[in-house]
Structure 1
């Protein structure tokens, strides 16, 4: 990253020393390199255009370099990205890091010009683009509709092949249809937003296009970086004029279908149309550098990630493997402040409680949340041995965060606090507004860094990569659902990506899996117990837990979840109790299943009526979609009563509903008993009965997903399968907070509710 600052005197180039804190340029300054620079083309025009190419002749740096502007005029800072262009001086970062190789001042350790020390006679490694060839273009009328091409989430960066690398912009996908010079703007779902974005549509109309389809992303830039929250505010607000349309593809142009034309050629045509000076319609720049290096730069800038597209790819509607998206995750050290036992088992750590130091004196220890994934049983035991001798009586935090504001689950009263002496390296998705890490994964202990030096490193992390499970997926091309085209690999990647959200709902609960070896249209079967084929990572419990039955299974880790996905598990259903208190359920679930002829608004109304009655009984409830036709209302409990008592309560509750509002509710199963009514299933509250877990996919056409939502979202829902395997993860990436955050710490008993209901 490069910041454009005011001009400095030439004499400043020789300065070395330490500038005091709170002064401009504070810190230690050295002359790291010196030499001359040679512009390629007119430097003033290049600066104005936001793309400056030049050649360096230094003691450490040489060859072609490029500065690309990432801000627009008027932003607080003029920010650029500096890239080494591919030429005879380019070397892979894995082989040679010039900063590590030459860290010292050239004033005290002069080297002489590198071009004299290591003369090069080679040519640039990147071949020039072939002459523009549009032979594959077809004369065709302008389509009325166009489904966009979509990218597949990458678990790793491509190791080979010829890819175009762009920044992944945190905004809304948008397509512009131009017909006889008039523009209409459509979202990726086909919704017409032309009136919403009238001024932007007018900007597109200024392009030299008579007819065509233009594909891109709308964003709002804050200090040069996309800000999704600002975009949401701008769409319907006065800041609408701040929306910028980044274009990256053009499948149709002036009577020609370009979808079979290679991507690089489509982009050359598109770039030629955007040579004007519009600040709101921009070309999505690609970067001529190895994807790993661009990913590192994107992560350092705080960008969402990268888009990688095969250079020769045709434009294909729907999700494809020729477009990939790689998302960045944060990574840094955090102080270990406490731990919990895994499943209540003494000797194995289940989660680590984290913190970091803040304040002007660096002495206040701030609660940073917890991490509960990223280690195996051996590491869990090793962590216990290291932490047990450090135990203390109270939490060490100077700045604590309420448990209801934390994203991850933490059982009340289960914390074991320690003296803050050990440091863990943790990878995570983002910081919450309270300074807590989200979706964290443990990477290892840091014995080289004192705990007192651990501070929050906003925007300074350099080591980030897409998360990936160690489990290999065989037969990735197998179609799971022919109606949506979801493959086994796509389903496995979905579970890998939602694991941080899903595991708290699975952990320590006996699980039953719906497996579909031949896809959901083939034979399906439930698996509740271990079998000879085995699934690495899935835990089989002692038979004593449930006498006279085969061992129960739990899925407690990412690898266990991915192992099940590899063995064709589609759905995950869990008990209402955990293995620690197997006979005492800690929740009641009411499954709202609409009968024939029931319209969706009646299902929404039924959920509100169930919530209202529960509130009158003094019980708080949480809501989630079922992934199918209905909704699930979930009531957390303090695990005191046995299954018989809890089931009896749920039965009485449902019968009261059916007797009070018989035209809306049925308490009797069977299709004929619920025509035109919502059947509220209380049978799921018996021992060994299960319900689809939060974030589980459903083995039904379309592959709906059960997603936790807030009660405020209920009026906005369109169905119980509002989100699918192909859309749920994108929705979660925009979620600002967990709607079930308070669920995990809510303690309530059925005793009073039972008395009121009688």
Structure 2
């Protein structure tokens, strides 16, 4: 049989499922047929409004269209991963289908051709599909550039495999905040109609178009009127000689966003090096904020700047290197300079103090930005990029920046000039506390670690200039960083302590204070020490002599801060620090877990050390206690109301909160936590609502409960799929280990709906998962139902239901601990009980940082309910 004939037979076999699902006497969809491209492969994306709006992504291969249903459609932002469910092959003729599939038929609803064109596989397409990673280039009317389809891990032969559709990083990529291609180009490339206009009478379509035009006209008129009313005093910018040097304008750390949000522009805060570029008749020089000439280190960047149509200019911006998740990676930037490979560095430009011989420093920041944007054009030469400005709620932007992995945002007061100093007209708002410190020494490594244990940090005193010790940092290092920093420290070794006064009780190797480290941390303590610190990288652009403690300043008219990281936060004892417990523990020597040998006293000591991290998760919420008088393996008692006698430090709530029962319990203090441990409590579970607003939940919890035969990689994939669906619903999600077998995905929500509504919606989410990917998920509990599958438990979202608290131990062999995680940590996680009472201290430095943005990320559920088609 010839190749063409065999391909035709294979295509007919591949289309069997397509034919089985359709009654062609009733549906206008094509039965088969279609001409193959000559020398090229075609692709089509159809916008399909069936029971839910989605996009069907189809690639021609071997005589059919390989097809994926993409619920939220393609996205040009490489950091956004779209779920794509592999469905049955379609005939090539389907690429031209537009119309309405009748009711009661498979896929009933309207269909348009949203995009079409050719596609080019990278490598062998068949082998790549079989391997689950297909890279390709699209050449369409709307979509261009390189893309990847990645199959999630799981069982072979699944009929509806879950994949991810991801845009590659190239010249066609654009941030979603900058450009949403689905919203910008919603209509058919054939008729110009949107999907909901298909089948409507011409008159109705015309009325709808006219209404849209009138609305747009109204917006334009309103904008024009606003511009007329607004009074802007412009100072003439005369021709001026281009200065040889320029000091940058610096931003002031703010305690809170300004109250008058409409008077400010906001940009993302880039995690990189500040860089000013001087252009004079094609000659380019690049300077750091301290005036060091780095032109020779950045040849590709200098070449790109030389191509700009600017005769004479000073441009201001930040250079970064993009990390694997799309956000700037400070350590990667440092590595680029260390290796001498700087071609992949991006220059984000945000101001133009001088341009085309004009001194623009007195012009409003909006005008300088407009001139800069015009200079760069729609497609700036790589690696130049324009830093976009946003006029939106700073708190919403701050939350979005955290979810994208950025350090924070920068606010610039409208109408403000450019000044070469730190100015209150530029402010920075951070998602977590972070600044530079001088390295004054290091401690010896412990255990299997090499290099050093921790770096000793200091800042110069404002009044005396002396280097003051302010704590250490021992996390954030991999093996390469440890080796590199240790080699640098060895060259600076000294017998003289650089700190004044010398820190008491610190045994260290001192070094000359010339290296500068950037460190993120949880808070400053009352004795001026940093807590929960994480190393971010060394800074080569800032001299050690200039490092001072950065103190947040109020901005005129600011509102109360809602940011988690506050310089005035209450001080707590560092987890793991040696301390005498405030409560005596009886029978402390009794072993409560034969598997690990942990005693009751050791468990109490764990809760004593972790209290500062755990109490924020307990405070203000009703709590249920799991008591184990006979230890792990013995009988357990689940207690949500007061019984027999009170527990020291455990608060009794108003009985009206749970009518007909004894008072609910609440733990707000370390005393209560230790009192529970004294009463043989191992686990502490919290409600999804606070006691002050117990009728309306402020979060949803999805407990991924694996059935028999489910391997750990399948649980990891399941968590990522749950997150992807939540992302598509516009809901932020946070991850933690359960300390047992599975994972918990937590969604912070606004207090709008009652328990039944929130529980009903969470059930709808789980049912949708189970219907979309039935090989992976099940919506019914019970061991028999979930063999080989994951039950995403939504039952924890009902009134009175609870979930184990972050940092709580579990009454299982090994005493696993529930630990907050960043999503980026999921691929490297080895199990749900990776951290236990015995080793959780190694996680204390990271602490609650992965959940820092929890409070600021709360979203209402109305939009998500509408997307899912759920009606409360």
TM (norm. structure 1) is 0.46
TM (norm. structure 2) is 0.40
